Amino acid sequence: MGSAHLAALLLCVCIIAGGAIAGRQNDTNGVSRPAEVRIGALFTFGSVIGRAVMPAIVLAVADVNADPTLLPGTKLSLLMQDTNCSGFVGTIEALQLLAKDVIAVLGPQSSAIAHIISHAVNKLQVPLISFAASDPTLSSLEYPYFVRATQSDYYQMSAVASIISQYQWREVIAIYVDDDYGRGGITALGDALAKKMSKIAYKAKLPPGAGRSAIQDILMQVNEMESRVYVVHVNPDSGMTVFSAAKSLGMMSSGYVWIATDWLSAVIDSSGHVASDVTENTQGVITLRQHVPDSGIQQSLLPKLNNLTRKGNRSSFSSYTAHAYDSVWLVAHAVEQFLSAGNAVSFSANQNLQAIKGSGLQLDSLRILNNGDKLLEKVLQANFTGVSGQVQFTLDRNLIHPAYDILNIGGTGFRTIGYWSNISGLSIAAPENLHSVQLNSTTNDIQLHDVIWPGQTAEKPRGWVFPYHGKLLRIGVPLRTSYNEFVMQDDGPDGVKGFSVDVFKSAISLLPYPVGCSFVLFGDGLKNPSYSDLVQKVSENYFDAAIGDISIVTNRTRLVDFTQPYTESGLIIVAPAKETESNAWAFLKPFTFQMWCVLGLLFLFVGTVVWILEHRTNTEFRGTPRQQIMTVCWFSFSTMFFAHRENTSSALGRFVLLVWLFVVLIINSSYTASLTSLLTVQELTSGVKGLDSLISSSSAIGYQVGSFARNYLVEELNIADSRLVPLNSPSDYARALELGSGNGGVAAIIDELPYVEIFLSKYCKFKTVGQVFTKSGWGFAFPRDSPLADDLSTAILTLSENGDLQRIHDEWLSGMKGCESDDSGMNSNSLSLASFWGLFVVCGLACALALLIFFWRILFQYSKYNNQVELEPTIVNRTARLTSIKSLISFVDKREEEVKNALKKKPNGSQQARIGSTEEPSTLPL
């Protein structure tokens, strides 16, 4: 790797410049505790972080040595090296520390130096415990001996992304120092924003150690861009220059958003109080600070830190102070466990370095820590409560419970507006109070406290502006040659007008900020332009937006962002139709042939049932066979007009007649309504039955020039391109439909519903077939991630809610209702059995029930009558008994009154008791 080669090069420089290092502890193979163990500390003494951590490290070493329960008999010795804010010098200083047989190195504070010397500690097996290097890439498996005793920027950038998502900003500009620390943090920010559906619009890189003029030039460049949300991730020693330059450029005013990572809180905490120059240049800035919970350990540490500072200067306390103090105790606990396990502190020569000893370089001064892997293991197994909170590592070697304070600078100080932790996300409750709480959606959905933004305003900034500085937005408008109700060229100031244009203007007027627009016509004026090409121009930033009757379809949404649809659309079929004239037999059309046949049979059936039920009791249903047949036929069909003259006398007959008359009433009413509809509404018929029949045929299909319909028919419905005929205007539509598919025209046209409605309002002899088979809408197109699309969507919804959208629609498109076409009337069908089978079933059941009761009653009388005859042998011969089917039929044919009189006679009666009758002797049994 390049960093490994750099480490080797710097190693050589260090050895040549430094010479041999004396004072090395002798190797020991015993298990006795050493009298002294050395640890190194590597940081920049005069830096913001260095001034905060130096007294903490010194105090921590003294506290460890004063603790009789920790490292008894062994003194912890501290060696510190100043990196002087230089990667080159820092690397040399680090190698010098390693040459002094230190068992662990605290630091460095620079992520760039940590990347380089991590290769050296990997070979020498010396744990490198950093209290400030926050580059997320240092946690990779490439650096097994690097232990981060502070929070990774991976979590800090997740907190920043949560803040951006909280205020619904979609794009930010990252301003960062172009080194390992800056690049690693901004990469993590991009990943975190992607999870929140946001992104980094531009990365503004600052050279390490950049001067004010270079910073100012970069800020002038980003100020020309659209986004007004800036995330500043730089070093604390030079970061204030960014805000000083931003203020001089007027970028700390209303409308701007500044979010600084924890470097700014380190600057604020370094002086013990907020300096006036810091607050003056950072009014309204949001910054983060690693969360350090209040504890008794922290309170007892502050007086000790004050005693180590100069008289009259109060010691600063920051999160870096706490992590540096805990880092010393972390090493002490690990060494104690390491020694308690029987391991000795010893070093051995590196064979790889010994092999090049003859080169003149004194490489033997760097030696390997024996059992360094076991010491590293003890470090990673740490579990104690320190000043910074719980010191314990996860499996990926990061501290548990990462959390940040969210600060807002305002006035002469700052205030905490909330917290972020990897458990609860954003919250107004301290993270340590939520670790043991069962979190739910209500807990997580908590707003931060109010923020005072730059410009001393409490209103949330929009987060973006038009970067045109007076330049009007170029709005592409299709130059249509047909259906001009939606978009047309005009001689007015805007040059265009129409339904779509008025909707756009009304939506723009509702925005809380002014938007200047310049409408540019797109097309040659000879035919309708390709709307896909218009959308492509927007994606290429040739147009800043496109308005008009633009359908929102899948292929277009991959290129641009659309607003909320302002009208519904979708493809539908238009087919030719012909009027069907009424004829002499139109009165038969209300019912199908099958229905007429069933009705005729049903009338005869019901008449027969009534005759059976009435024949024994009603003289109107008796007589000669010819008379009875005529009675049945007359009664059956006269009930259709309620003109039957025969009265029913039996209860069963009346019951059947009542049900049947109800059925007849329904049938008459349906026939009348259907016939009226057929005679008063002109029926339209078409050879095209629907989409499936159109696809399966080989007929030509028309489509509108420039519409997405062509691509849909070819790509989605797999219709051959040779079948498609481009049409430009309503008159072209009518001419092609009239000619037909075989005569140079088309069998049908597939177009969008709004166009079809206008076409049918002018040409009434055509009709739509089926339903709309795609669902879409018309919207306005903007470049991807344009915030104006979201604001206009809200404005369109407002137009819809307050009724203005309907008013604009009626103003431009009210005339398309001039030609009425009722699909229900055009598609009237004859009534079939399916419409009446329920009534017929009810009628049939009523007849069956009546017949069942009737014949049960007949059988009962017949049985009683037969038994009585058997008891009168002197009157009726046994051979004349009613035992045959013929005799049963004869019995049924008798009058009900005669049967009842016969049953009243006693068995031993006179000859007059015989059943015979002089009126109907032929019916008497022999």
How far apart CA 271 and CA 318 sit, in angstroms, is 10
pLDDT of residue 28: 39
Burial of 457 (0-12, 13-18, 19+ CB in 10 A): middle
Residue 220 has pLDDT above 80, yes or no: yes
The pLDDT tens digits of the residues spanning 732-768 come to 999 999 888 888 899 999 999 999 999 998 888 888 8
Tokens for 852, please give them: 């069942």
pLDDT of residue 668: 77
Name the superfamily (CATH) of residues 36-150+298-358+365-399.
Response regulator (3.40.50.2300)
- Give Cα separations from 599 to 69, 280, 595, 666, 799 (angstroms): 110, 98, 6, 13, 58
Cβ 401 vs Cβ 135: under 8 Å: no
pLDDT of residue 8: 40
Which CATH topology does 473-569+777-809 take?
Answer: D-Maltodextrin-Binding Protein; domain 2 (3.40.190)
Beta-ladder partners of 204: 175
Residue 273 has pLDDT above 80, yes or no: no
Q: Which of 74-88, 147-161, 396-410, 454-468 has the lowest mean pLDDT?
A: 454-468
- Mean pLDDT value across residues 516-537: 93
Band (pLDDT 50/70/90 cuts) for residue 295 is: confident
DSSP 784: T
Which CATH topology does 153-297+402-433 take?
Answer: Rossmann fold (3.40.50)
Strands 517-522 and 567-569: unpaired
How far apart CA 236 and CA 382 sit, in angstroms, is 30
Residue 692 has pLDDT above 80, yes or no: yes
Position with higher pLDDT, 727 vs 900: 727
- Mean pLDDT value across residues 700-720: 91
Percent of the chain with pLDDT over 70: 77
Residue 144 has pLDDT above 70, yes or no: yes
- Mean pLDDT value across residues 675-685: 59
pLDDT of residue 413: 87
- Give Cα separations from 238 to 48, 176, 215, 252 (angstroms): 10, 11, 10, 18
Q: How many CB atoms lie within 10 A of CB 69?
A: 6
The pLDDT tens digits of the residues spanning 655-664 come to 777 777 777 7
- Mean pLDDT value across residues 823-852: 64
- Mean pLDDT value across residues 11-24: 37
How far apart CA 816 and CA 834 sit, in angstroms, is 37
Band (pLDDT 50/70/90 cuts) for residue 167 is: very high
CA nearest neighbour of 405 among 297, 306, 294: 294
Judge whether 36-150+298-358+365-399 and 153-297+402-433 match in fold: yes
Band (pLDDT 50/70/90 cuts) for residue 14 is: very low
Residue 365 has pLDDT above 60, yes or no: yes
Q: Judge if the upstream peptide bond of residue 921 is cis by omega within 30 degrees of 0.
A: no
- pTM (global) more than 0.75: no
Residue 918 has pLDDT above 60, yes or no: no
How far apart CA 292 and CA 481 sit, in angstroms, is 69
Cβ 457 vs Cβ 254: under 8 Å: yes
Band (pLDDT 50/70/90 cuts) for residue 645 is: low
How far apart CA 622 and CA 2 sit, in angstroms, is 121
DSSP string, 280-340: HH-TT-EEEEE-----HHHHHHHHHHHHTSPTT-PPP--HHHHHHHHHHHHHHHHHHHHHH
Residue 827 has pLDDT above 70, yes or no: no
How far apart CA 132 and CA 208 sit, in angstroms, is 18
Residue carrying the six token digits 């627009």: 517
- Mean pLDDT value across residues 776-785: 92
CA nearest neighbour of 615 among 600, 632, 633: 632
Length of the chain: 926
Listed ranges 80-94, 202-216, 294-308; the one with the highest mean pLDDT = 202-216
How far apart CA 776 and CA 573 sit, in angstroms, is 16
DSSP 209: T
Q: Which of 197-201, 659-663, 683-687 has the lowest mean pLDDT?
A: 683-687
DSSP string, 418-483: EEEETTTEEESS-GGGTTTS---HHHH--PPPP--BTTTB-SPP-SB--TTTTPPEEEEEE--SS-
Q: Judge if the upstream peptide bond of residue 127 is cis by omega within 30 degrees of 0.
A: no
Residue 5 has pLDDT above 80, yes or no: no
How high is the mean pLDDT of the chain? 82
Residue 635 has pLDDT above 80, yes or no: no
How far is residue 880 CA from its own chain's centroid? 93
How far apart CA 326 and CA 434 sit, in angstroms, is 23
Residue carrying the six token digits 């498109």: 813
Residue carrying the six token digits 């960093």: 3
Q: Collapsing DSSP states into helix, strand and coil, what is residue 43?
A: strand
pLDDT of residue 814: 77
Band (pLDDT 50/70/90 cuts) for residue 652 is: confident
Tokens for 907, please give them: 């068995």
Alpha helices in 740-777 (DSSP H): 753-762
pLDDT of residue 441: 44
pLDDT of residue 311: 41
CA nearest neighbour of 564 among 806, 809, 800, 796: 796
Long-range contacts of 13-20 (CB under 8 A, 24+ apart): 13/92, 14/91, 14/92, 14/95, 14/96, 14/99, 15/95, 15/361, 15/362, 15/363, 15/365, 16/361, 17/92, 18/92, 18/95, 18/96, 18/99, 18/365, 19/362, 20/362, 20/365
pLDDT of residue 885: 59
Q: How many CB atoms lie within 10 A of CB 637?
A: 15
Q: Which of 12-21, 357-366, 538-547 has the lowest mean pLDDT?
A: 12-21
How far apart CA 620 and CA 597 sit, in angstroms, is 28
The pLDDT tens digits of the residues spanning 564-596 come to 999 999 999 998 876 555 566 666 777 788 877
How far apart CA 709 and CA 399 sit, in angstroms, is 58
- In what helix (H) or strand (E) does residue 347 lie, and over which residues does it extend? strand 347-349
pLDDT of residue 767: 87
For the domain covering 684-769, report its CATH number. Answer: 3.40.190
Band (pLDDT 50/70/90 cuts) for residue 667 is: confident
Listed ranges 283-292, 298-307, 671-680; the one with the highest mean pLDDT = 283-292
Q: Which of 39-53, 166-180, 394-408, 864-878 has the lowest mean pLDDT?
A: 864-878
- Mean pLDDT value across residues 176-182: 95
pLDDT of residue 16: 33
- Mean pLDDT value across residues 257-278: 84
How far apart CA 497 and CA 484 sit, in angstroms, is 9
Q: Which of 9-18, 488-497, 778-787 has the lowest mean pLDDT?
A: 9-18
Angle between helices 111-124 and 2-18 (to 10 degrees): 80
- Give Cα separations from 804 to 341, 496, 779 (angstroms): 81, 20, 16
Q: Which of 46-60, 297-311, 319-333, 611-625 has the lowest mean pLDDT?
A: 611-625
pLDDT of residue 261: 97
pLDDT of residue 35: 93
Q: Where are the domains of the chain?
A: 36-150+298-358+365-399, 153-297+402-433, 473-569+777-809, 586-680, 684-769
How far is residue 916 CA from its own chain's centroid? 94
b/e map 368-385, b = 16+ CB within 10 Å: bbbbbebbbebbeebeee
Q: Collapsing DSSP states into helix, strand and coil, what is residue 406?
A: strand
pLDDT of residue 363: 59
For 150-263, strand residue ranges (E) read 171-177, 199-206, 229-233, 257-260
pLDDT of residue 585: 65
Contacts of 640 (CB under 8 A, 6+ apart): 603, 664, 667, 668
Q: Collapsing DSSP states into helix, strand and coil, what is residue 547?
A: coil
